Structure 1
Amino acid sequence: MSEDIYDAQFVKGVFDRCSGQYIAFSWVCSFGFTERWRRQCVELMPAPETRQPKGYDLMAGTGEVWPHLLKRFPDIAEITAVDISSGMHLRAMERLHTHRAHKIAFIEDDVLASDLPDADADFIVSTFGLKTFNSEQHAKLARLVARCLRPGGVFCMIEASDPKGWWLRPLYLFHLKVVLPLVERTLLNGAQDFSMIGTYSTNFGDASAVAEMLRAEGLEVEFKRFFFGCATAVAGRKPAAFAPS
């Protein structure tokens, strides 16, 4: 592929075109695991110290993590969703979150180019957005998380990953590389957009490198695997006495 699949406008095009059927596709093709992993991501995140916390959902997509956030932390004052795809956000509000609109703001922007304020967030969450970045972009994201969190602020990010060492890994990769494109061609409309999700996932590897980048920025970080490494997460906190790296 001659195009840069990590270019912001390329990513926006993929997810704008996917947005109409993304929720159903994601649930069916992951056998419901994406929903389970979103819940586990929120469970893994340390509790914010602020009484009525506000924070960001980065690469927010269709906002499927918001119900889990608001269930665990009902006193959340505001979630600001940041995503380059306006189509995904519109889908979120139409299908899932109309009655939560008073707690949800939206910024349509490339997260890495966004002008988010320093030390303003009590929490940062991201579910299944890490794969759309390359290693250099992950380093920028780590700097952004460290910059935007208040001292004592918390975070958790989860992503579908390559379960290296698992004896069923060949079957898992077959599902990503063969089954997902087949489902798209036979049941869905789209020019290889849904199959790109499999490409991003296999290229990603796991979140261990992201964990090291976050630690390098001075954050406290836990790295965790789910379901034999088919998903990996990073969670932690910005120290109260934070010294920039």
Structure 2
Amino acid sequence: MEDVPDIYDPAFVKAVFDRCSRRYIAFSFVCSLGFTERWRRQCVAALALPRGAATGYDFMSGTGEVWPHLLGANPEIEQIVAVDISSGMHTLAMERLHAMRSDRIAFIEDDVLASDLPDASADFVASTFGLKTFSPAQHRRLAALTARVLKPGGRFAFIEASDPRGWLLRPLYLFHLKTVLPAIERIFLRGAQDFAMIGTYSTQFGNCRQFTGMLEGAGLIASYRRAFFGCATMAFGHKPL
């Protein structure tokens, strides 16, 4: 009997995103009809960064596409520490977005849950489209990590592509994830089947509501919000003073 891989195992996740990193930006933008960029902006808006010197983390940073939005929201950010497990994603982020901001962006290439990040070291934590690669048990650990690394009053915002349960067009959305995306990959990307995992991760993730509760359980003030009929959802808030 063939072994079924654990799709949340860090080694499995790293391998998937290393293989698809070179085409990830174009594929995600086109196949989300441009919504991923809009949702990044909404995530940063929910983060509600105050002006002034600040240091923070970009968890599961991927290709670093949220950095321009963060620096635009607060030009006085001193440093963004990007944490991601994928070597391929880090390499691409450095090539595309890091060069002009090398004095303000640092990298940690590691599983964020295994990284030894200092307590109370961040004014903010942001994360865009990385939650789906974690299991519920890993989400609980991530919530505790977020609470630990934030300074009192520090802010956080997570956004993730989600399953829009209750939406009239949900069957069409799921057809897009489960049928259209794998077909595009087979035809144009030589059948690597890595991008199809994005649909698998998204539908198994559900939405950010449960994670919002975990953040509250970790002692944070957290809110939940839907975007575009629930095709993306957010968990955002702050650490009490």
TM-score (norm 1): 0.95
Residue of structure 2 equivalent to 1:204: 205
Aligned to 1:134: 135
* 2:132–2:201 CA contact under 8 A, matched in 1: yes
Structure 1 segment 135-174 matched on structure 2, within 5 A: 135-174=136-175
Pairing 1:66-215 to 2, within 5 Å after superposition: 66-189=67-190, 191-215=192-216
Task: Count matched residues.
Answer: 239
Using the TM superposition, give the Cα deviation of residue 92 of structure 1 relative to its aligned residue in structure 2, in angstroms: 1.1
Task: Assess if the C-alpha contact under 8 Å between 1:48 and 1:122 holds in 2.
Answer: no
Is this contact kept in 1: 2:49–2:73, CA < 8 A? Answer: no
Aligned to 2:91, what secondary structure does the other structure show?
A: helix
Partners of 2:81 and 2:107 within 8 A in 1:
yes
Structure 2 CA distance for aligned equivalents of residues 127 and 47 of structure 1: 16
**d(CA) in 1 for partners of 2:188, 2:21:** 15
Instruction: Give the letter aligned to residue 114 of structure 1.
Output: S
| C-alpha displacement of 1:191 | 2.3
Structure 2 counterparts to residues 26-41 of structure 1, below 5 A: 26-41=28-43
Partners of 2:53 and 2:87 in 1: how far apart? 27
Q: 2: CA distance between counterparts of 1:151 and 1:96?
A: 30
Q: What secondary structure does 2:77 align onto?
A: coil
Give the RMSD, CA atoms, in angstroms.
1.0
State the 1:22 CA deviation. 0.4
For residues 191 and 32 of structure 2, what CA distance do their matches in structure 1 show? 19
8 Å contact 1:56–1:80 — kept in the other structure? yes
Q: 1:206-244 CA deviation, whole Å, 9 max, x = no partner?
A: 00000000001110111100000000001100001xxxx
Question: Corresponding residue for 2:4?
Answer: 2
Q: CA deviation at 1:189?
A: 3.7
Q: Percent identity?
A: 66
Structure 2: state its 5+ residue gaps: none
Alpha-carbon distance in 2 for matches of 1:79, 1:190:
35
Superposition misfits of 4+ residues, deviation over 3 angstroms = none
- AA aligned opposite 2:23: Q
Q: Counterpart of 2:24 in 1: which secondary structure? A: helix
Partners of 2:98 and 2:159 in 1: how far apart? 21
SS at 1:193 equivalent: coil
Letter in 2 for 1:13: A
Match of 2:18 among 7, 16, 19: 16
Cα distance in 2 for partners of 1:34, 1:236 equals 21
Alignment of 1:218-229 (within 5 A): 218-229=219-230
Extract unaligned runs of 5+ from structure 1.
Answer: 241-245
Question: CA shift at 1:190, angstroms?
Answer: 5.3
| 1:199 partner SS | helix
1:132 and 1:48 mapped to 2: Cα distance?
30
Give 1:95 deviation, angstroms: 2.0
- Cα distance per residue 1:4-31 (max 9 Å; x no partner): 0000000000000011010000100000
